[in-house]
Amino acid sequence: MTIHKEGHGLILATTAIVVIVNVVFAAVPSFFSPTIYSILSTTLLVVSIVVLVLVLQFFRIPSINIVKNEKQVLAPADGKVVVIEETEEPEHLKSKRKQVSIFMSPINVHVNRMPVAGTISYTKYHPGKYLVAWHPKSSTENERTTIAVKMKNGTEVLFRQIAGALARRIKWYVREGQPVEQGDEFGFIKFGSRVDIFLPLEAHITVKVGDVTKGGKTVIAEF
């Protein structure tokens, strides 16, 4: 397991704050009895370690074995399936599609991975609001990015990174015309979010609402 590059600055800052707070507390003369002071210093140390561990786990990148299959669609993110429905995709595909939405809580791995292989055919960033990720209007009003991949057979699969109430920064690492492989990392969303994926109507969805997914591993649909 490694730590994602998006977390390096925050981890350093958190570590510095934790060290400074504990050092200052230990150096300042205590107005409490030795027993109370010992309890307070121990509590502060434990809380500091917990905070640092939470930040570290949020930016973790676990090692995974990606099994590529051009007839399958892999989950683009760790999380829970919250929506499966037939809907209109008005931004780029402009046609009816099957939508699968995955909610990512703050404790999930937040690396986003390519569900299929192909060539990036469309990308666009949309600034917006920060409604809770499961809000019905979050997919059209929140900060988000839209990315589409055209597969070798001409099929386009579109997916959308959506910021949530806590997520205030979406990162994506692809550009139009770029070839990509299934399971490649294409982005990262900080502190809770959602990923919508829009599939052809003929795609067979292999997950159900409430299922837990692993990015780059869970098969969410088949062609």
- 115 & 146 share domain: yes
CA distance 86 to 82: 14
CA distance 15 to 168: 21
| Alpha-carbon distances of 108 from 11, 205, 223, rounded to whole Å | 17, 22, 28
- Identify the pLDDT of residue 133: 56
Task: Give the pLDDT band of residue 77 (cuts 50, 70, 90).
Answer: very high
Residue 136 in contact with residue 99, Cβ under 8 Å?
no
Phi-psi map region of 3: left, alpha, beta (phi>0 left; psi -120 to 50 alpha): beta
- Per DSSP, the residues of 192-216 read SEEEEEEE-TT-EE---TT-EE-TT
Mean pLDDT (whole number) for 50-71:
83
- 184 & 127 share domain: yes
66, part of any domain: no
CA dihedral of 76, 197, 94, 167, whole degrees rounded to 10: -80
- 85 & 107 share domain: yes
- 31 & 108 share domain: no
- 8 & 91 share domain: no
- 95 & 52 share domain: no
- Identify the pLDDT of residue 123: 96
- 57 & 78 share domain: no
Last residue of a domain, one of 61, 88, 112: 61
- 101 & 122 share domain: yes
- 209 & 102 share domain: yes
204, part of any domain: yes
Q: Is 38 a catalytic residue?
A: no
How many domains are there within the chain?
A: 2
Task: Give the pLDDT band of residue 82 (cuts 50, 70, 90).
Answer: very high
Distance of CA 108 to the CA centre of its chain: 7
pLDDT value at 2 more than 90: no
- 41 & 106 share domain: no
Catalytic residue among 48, 138, 139, 193: 193
- 189 & 142 share domain: yes
- 44 & 84 share domain: no
Q: What are the tens digits of pLDDT across the range 106-124?
A: 788 788 999 999 999 999 9
